Structure 1
């Protein structure tokens, strides 16, 4: 029986961006996209408990952006019950701190949060553009992401994103880890790849050339091939 793989989406755009990747991986795994639970303001324990209850214990955990951060925390929570962790354009911290500077400046995030609170629809449109920035067809990709958006684009989700810190989880999880970063990502700096390598030397970290934050839509075949090789070598 093929291994089970759970994909967790990012903030704001829902599960649709992960559908092409799930379809590309279906020949290798039993793939399921799990929608993120309803967020409570900065209540990570509630979110993790909901995911832990909903997801099979023997599944590889994978996620895009916020979903990758949640997958990392859940993998560390499950320990030996999780066979492996995959993250896609996902940082250990989404907002920068003195101890983790390779992330979005806190002031930039605060301005985005304020804009979302004032005008969610316009800010979500801007978010789709930022996800696509660096892609070969950034405008087309942005329109596609926005047209398919079905996600929990909530203020509580943004606050959770700002609060998350997965550094300890990445260090403590002893199972195989693969972290993929996009070289032209406008939301997660590619310099975070080197920081993750230093944080967890046992992990495999790769940079996807010429890709935006929306690499899960932009480079589906390439990602599916890398993920399949990595998991199949470890199962």
Structure 2
């Protein structure tokens, strides 16, 4: 269904951060069916296990999208489905979350290592820190971080750690190059977790896809500025539907 969009959330904070965006999208186009699907609660960090779970449970022939980790998984699922995916959109999703020499526009490996160690020691404190990082760069960063944290679901430490290890394992460069459907990738200009330079790096890799940079916005820009993000998505869906 070209009028169906499935959105996947990011790590640790559940589906609530995407609810205002979904509402804004429905308001712009009542014919668009927008669904937010929670990420699998798995203890495995093998991307294939996550993709098998998602592929078995998500509707076919829909647009796939997601925020951060959710966008990375949407990209991998899109190429797995091929023509059974109407198109792909990602929100503040890097192609690699952890930097390596061939992809420096990402979080430093040592920073990620310290963050994971903190999650293993105290997952609640780490989620609080994560919410602050997600909100960093927003006009009301503290208010946004409190909003993110207040709606976060209770999760087992093993599930959170598996999600972090999945983040470290995923590399969506091959998937994005292989997927032939329409793609929109939106980045945030003041993102503390995914450098804005990732947008330019993606453009260099894939000059024919749609890429947008939302200035002065945080990693949680879908919650911070849902109507602006929704307008960009709706314009892209409309243009893709005209092709």
Alignment TM class, shorter chain as reference? over 0.9
Unmatched tracts of structure 1, length 5 or more? none
Distance 1:234 1:176 in 2: 7
Say what the alpha-carbon RMSD is for the aligned residues.
1.2
Q: TM-score, length-normalised on structure 1?
A: 0.97
Cα shift at 1:41: 2.9
Structure-2 residue corresponding to 1:42:
45
Q: TM-score, length-normalised on structure 2?
A: 0.94
Query: Contact 1:62 / 1:86 at 8 angstroms: preserved in 2?
Result: yes
Query: Contact 1:15 / 1:151 at 8 angstroms: preserved in 2?
Result: no
Structure-2 residue corresponding to 1:215:
221
Matched, 1:58 2:64: no
Structure-1 residue corresponding to 2:235:
229
Distance 1:174 1:99 in 2: 23
Q: What do residues 147-187 of structure 1 show as CA deviations (whole Å, max 9, x unaligned)? A: 11126561111111111100000000011100000000000
Structure-1 residue corresponding to 2:10:
10
- Which residue, out of 111, 114, 124, partners 1:121? 124
SS in 1 for 2:181: coil
Cα shift at 1:58: 1.0
Runs in 1 of length 4+ with deviation above 2 angstroms? none
Cα shift at 1:63: 0.2
Query: Contact 1:116 / 1:123 at 8 angstroms: preserved in 2?
Result: yes
Distance 1:35 1:217 in 2: 16
Matched, 1:91 2:61: no
Q: What do residues 77-114 of structure 1 show as CA deviations (whole Å, max 9, x unaligned)? A: 01111111000000000000011110000000000000
Query: Contact 1:133 / 1:184 at 8 angstroms: preserved in 2?
Result: yes
Cα shift at 1:40: 3.2
Matched, 1:147 2:150: yes
Query: Contact 2:96 / 2:170 at 8 angstroms: preserved in 1?
Result: yes
